[in-house]
């Protein structure tokens, strides 16, 4: 029998509200550990309020233990392992560590989310012509440009090599194109200044290819639960990646949104 049959909607609403506060902090603040620690200071207050409402300890544990001070400290320790050393972005471990929870939250709130797979065109040429140090400098600059081109609520990850992933909460596939196009234009307009192997400054003009996919394009999204949300994430990444592949193989420097009608091409 579900908890909701025993406890009032108001009690459950308070817990969901507290959980959303934490997730909103984690989603909107790249240094979210500090913000979450501040929220943890209110832990006793939350628990006392919930006990006053008659919620028993076992249900408090179910809803609140994830955000106890101890677990929040674990988040802080974990953060150092979730940051890419070169770009300062979240890494792939962070993606798989936090996105399932964020997607579950969006699903409960009736929102879609989208993913952008972003790849720097002809990156290998930078390493081959100017050296790997120049390549690293370019990646740092590109990471900053992407970070500066998205909304505060969007999460940017270094997915691997010259490939980045942008997670967009409360965003469908159509809106994801608009954000992706802003990133693409930002890269196209700037000169990426790096130092070559001889210490000479080089101004590089580079472009981006981007693939987009949204949960509104997932057949399983309607039935996604906390138990299978990781499968939804994997499918979303796969569809965005296939769109990126199409963007790179049909001219580069473009944004391609996943087309379910061409899924089997």
Q: Higher pLDDT residue, 78 or 163?
A: 163
202 plus 242 within the same structural domain = yes
Q: Quick one: which of 234, 226, 95, 104 has its CA closest to 166?
A: 95
Question: For residue 174, is it within any domain?
Answer: yes
Q: Put residue 227 in one of left, alpha, beta given phi > 0 → left and psi -120 to 50 → alpha.
A: alpha
pLDDT at 246 over 60: yes
Confidence of residue 6 (pLDDT cuts 50, 70, 90): very low
C-alpha 218/C-alpha 59 separation (Å) is: 33
Q: Say which of 93, 162, 197, 263 is annotated catalytic.
A: 162
Active site residue 93: no
Q: What proportion of the chain, given as a percentage, has pLDDT over 70?
A: 69
Q: Which domain holds residue 37?
A: 3-79
Give pLDDT, residue 260. 84
Residue after which a domain boundary falls, among 22, 57, 79: 79
234 plus 138 within the same structural domain = yes
160 plus 246 within the same structural domain = yes
Question: For residue 55, is it within any domain?
Answer: yes
66 plus 162 within the same structural domain = no
162 plus 236 within the same structural domain = yes
Q: Quick one: which of 179, 215, 10, 216 has its CA closest to 103?
A: 215
Question: By three-state DSSP, how is residue 156 classified?
Answer: strand
Token code pair at residue 137? 């400098």
74 plus 189 within the same structural domain = no
Domain CATH number, residue 133: 3.30.70.270
Q: Higher pLDDT residue, 102 or 121?
A: 121
**CA-based R_g, the chain, Å:** 21
Question: For residue 35, is it within any domain?
Answer: yes
The domain tally of the chain equals 2
Question: For residue 100, is it within any domain?
Answer: no
40 plus 146 within the same structural domain = no
Question: For residue 203, is it within any domain?
Answer: yes
Reported as type and span, the H/E element at residue 192 is strand 192-195
Give phi and psi for 236, each to the nearest 5.
-65, -45
Token pair 């299978």 in the structure block, residue: 228
68 plus 17 within the same structural domain = yes
Distances (CA, A) of 202 to 32, 115, 129, 189, 199: 36, 32, 11, 16, 9
Distances (CA, A) of 231 to 104, 109, 117, 260: 12, 19, 17, 18
Token code pair at residue 64? 């609140």
60 plus 152 within the same structural domain = no
pLDDT, tens digit (0-9, with 9 covering 90-100), for 61-119: 555 555 555 555 566 666 668 889 899 898 999 899 888 888 988 898 899 999 999 99
Strand partners, 166: 116, 156
Residue after which a domain boundary falls, among 56, 79, 102: 79
Give pLDDT, residue 98. 84
Lowest mean pLDDT among 97-106, 144-153, 179-188, 201-210: 97-106
> Is 31 in contact with 37 (CB distance < 8 Å)?
no
Q: Quick one: which of 223, 230, 115 has its CA closest to 173?
A: 115
Upper half-sphere CA count for residue 150 (Cβ side, 13 Å)? 30
222 plus 174 within the same structural domain = yes
Question: For residue 87, is it within any domain?
Answer: no
123 plus 69 within the same structural domain = no
Question: For residue 221, is it within any domain?
Answer: yes
Residue after which a domain boundary falls, among 61, 79, 97: 79
Question: For residue 171, is it within any domain?
Answer: yes
Q: What is the mean pLDDT of the chain?
A: 82
11 plus 68 within the same structural domain = yes
């Amino acid at each position: 029998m579900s908890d909701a049959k025993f406890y009032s909607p108001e009690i459950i609403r308070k817990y969901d509200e507290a959980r959303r506060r934490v997730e909103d902090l984690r989603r909107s603040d790249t240094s979210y550990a500090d913000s979450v620690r501040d929220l943890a200071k209110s832990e006793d207050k939350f628990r006392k309020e919930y006990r006053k409402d008659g919620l028993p300890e076992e249900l408090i544990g179910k809803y609140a233990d994830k955000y106890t001070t101890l677990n929040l400290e674990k988040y802080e320790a974990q953060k150092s392992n979730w940051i890419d050393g070169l770009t300062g972005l979240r890494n792939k471990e962070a993606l798989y560590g936090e996105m399932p929870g964020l997607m579950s939250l969006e699903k409960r709130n009736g929102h879609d989310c989208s993913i952008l797979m972003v790849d720097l065109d002809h990156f290998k040429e930078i390493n081959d012509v100017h050296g790997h140090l120049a390549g690293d400098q370019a990646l740092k600059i590109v990471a900053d440009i992407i970070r500066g081109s998205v909304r505060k609520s969007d999460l940017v990850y270094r997915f691997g090599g010259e490939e980045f992933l942008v997670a967009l909460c409360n965003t469908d596939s159509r809106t994801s194109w608009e954000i992706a196009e802003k990133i693409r234009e930002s890269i196209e307009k700037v000169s990426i200044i790096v130092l070559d192997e001889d210490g000479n400054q080089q101004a590089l003009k580079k472009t981006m290819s981007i693939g987009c996919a949204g949960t509104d394009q997932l057949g399983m999204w309607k039935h996604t639960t906390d138990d299978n949300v990781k499968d939804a994430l994997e499918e979303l990444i796969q569809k965005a990646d296939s769109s990126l592949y199409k963007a790179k193989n049909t001219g580069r420097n473009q944004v391609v949104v996943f087309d379910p009608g061409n899924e089997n091409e």
